[in-house]
Amino acid sequence: MEKVNVEQKLSLFADHWSPKIVGELNGQHVKLAKLKGEFVWHKHDNEDELFFVLKGDFKMEYRDKTVVVKENEFLIVPRGVEHRPVADNEVSVMLFEPTTTLNTGNTKGELTKHVLEKL
């Protein structure tokens, strides 16, 4: 039962597209990530994802539209919806996802993280 300083945790890493676990509750991971550039198109058949922007902004691309998510805003991507985050500049996000969530969903590749670092 310790508090977490988000800014301090974000200072511990610089890599992009590599979520870090900073908490867990009710079968959900609380993750921090830094995004920059384009991620891969993917979907999660069994998990919803929540992206909460801490610093910066990014675009969530869907096949039929694009949503801009700014600092202090969040977006929930429902399970089964194909999406791709794109960040023109570095953005820091907090993610809330079931512990079973693979970062690249149904798309496996070089950005897939099977084991996440805990901070």
pLDDT in tens, 18-65: 999 999 999 999 999 999 999 999 999 999 999 999 999 999 999 999
- Is residue 1 scored above 90 in pLDDT? no
The radius of gyration of the chain's CA atoms, rounded to the nearest angstrom, is 13
DSSP assigned state of 97: E
pLDDT in tens, 55-92: 999 999 999 999 999 999 999 999 999 999 999 999 99
Phi, psi of 10 (to 5 degrees): -65, -30
- Residues, the chain: 119
Inter-CA distances, 64 with 58, 81, 82, Å: 17, 11, 10
* 30: DSSP letter: E
φ, ψ for residue 6 (rounded to 5)? Answer: -60, -45
CA distances from 49 to 14, 71, 110 (A): 22, 17, 21
Task: Confirm or reject CATH 1.10.3720.10 for domain 6-98, answering yes or no.
Answer: no
Q: What is the pLDDT of residue 108?
A: 80
Q: Where are the domains of the chain?
A: 6-98
